[in-house]
Structure 1
Amino acid sequence: MTALLQARDLRLAFGGLKAADGIDLDVEAGEFLAIIGPNGAGKTTFINMTTGYLKPQGGTIAFEGKPILGLSPRRIVGLGVARSFQLPQLFTEHTVLQNVALAVAAREGVWSVLTPLLRPRFRDEAAELIARFGLTRITDVRADALNEGARKLVDIAMAVALRPRLLLMDEPTSGVAAAEKMAIVETLVRVLREAGVTAVFVEHDMEVVGRFADRVAVWGQGKIAALGPPSRILNDPEVQRTVIGIAPNGGAHAAA
């Protein structure tokens, strides 16, 4: 069976920095794949190439067996690939309901800022999705008044409103308070699994990775250094040394 997403020999350099140096990766339908690695390893670059924000200098990317390399971000979304950002991309002057309604309307090809806020069917679908994320209490709160955890969930709710089959998330827990982190990830994983959405997520919190990922891909200097189940990858001495920051003697040090 063909993988949902197939990347082959992706290459991209910024000057002398190789952000992608022969990346080969299959993402299987239904899985949650975590991408980990030190800063500058090329993790976000992979997401940007997959979603059309960057074009690699070599290689191929296919979604459901069809090439998507070179397509615009909007066209890739239309094929069923969505993303969320490290910094949530919200309309700060609008409420949570209005933000999600705008995403619902965009999926239907309506790009006017006013029309989605007036059509009951867009608002009704947005309200149902907000409830699935457990955010009903903040439906009428403006986005600029939300804490970081709520902003992250609204950003992902907007991505889910596009009805993707694949969602790529860039550090969904960055900036989120430690006390909120697990509850937020549990919510988004539940909603995505209920909707049958495959997920790829860049993450620095190894507890989140170990608890929620089906597989882990380790990025290093534009290459995939290791790939496998969390139980094996997170206990690999080299991964612990270079990514997690555990020295061979069991002590901690700063990862590169």
Structure 2
Amino acid sequence: MQFLKLFPETHRNLDCLKAASIYVVISKEYAMAGKKVLIVYAHQEPKSMNGSLKNVAVDVFQKQGCSVDISDLYSMNFIAAATRNDITGELCNPQHFRYGAETMEAFKKGVLCEEIIKEQKKVQEADLVIFQFPLYWFSFPAIMKGWIDRVFVQGFAFDFPSIYYNGLLKEKLAILSFTTGGTEEMFSKNGVSGDIRYLLWPMQHGIMHFCGFKVLAPQISYAPEYTGDKERKDMLLSWAKRLETIWEEQPIECTPPWYFQ
């Protein structure tokens, strides 16, 4: 304190720095408070690791002041099959049904079924979409893939030439958070299941990036069924800690050169 009395300029500078730090913190909190998050969740058991990861995300985002919406696909009895029933108006060509062409026109006319319209509204309002799921056969569960097939129709999620960096959802972030049955070693470069980055390319590049999403690095919880309580708790803590600064993350490169080597 004697030092500060002798050098009042230093004292003023410290006050300015302190005020600036407080301003930055408040600014970040204010910015986060206006964010909207959609969690597309696919697991049958609320007490599962996926259920816990979903709950952690809800808790963290609500504490940030974000609004959180959840599409709990199993609880909703969401229909995975893409059929003519997705269109409430007249078909363009009832003699030769083409799902992609018909849903594109139905979206333009506003005659998609209510279930799809509701989900599209959630996506449209979201700043961040989290896909929370168990990895099934190196991919999404069928119910989640069906959600993507039916919700991300042409005209809403993409169009031509509005794809990839110009995709219609380019102002939004997306992240895959999922559990695996195999261990991290099994999904390594020399593991029996191969490098997991290659498995994710069709999902992250072929779907999310194709529609314009800025894709964040995946959150992978390896083999929770075969680990102890401490390891499972660490998975949840790791996810919670990451979500505290998720808005500061930069998107990954969805077409990395290593994929083609």
TM-score tier, shorter chain, comes to: 0.3 to 0.5
Greater relative contact order structure (CA < 8 Å, 6+ sep): 1
| Greater Rg over alpha carbons, structure | 2
Larger strand fraction of residues: 1
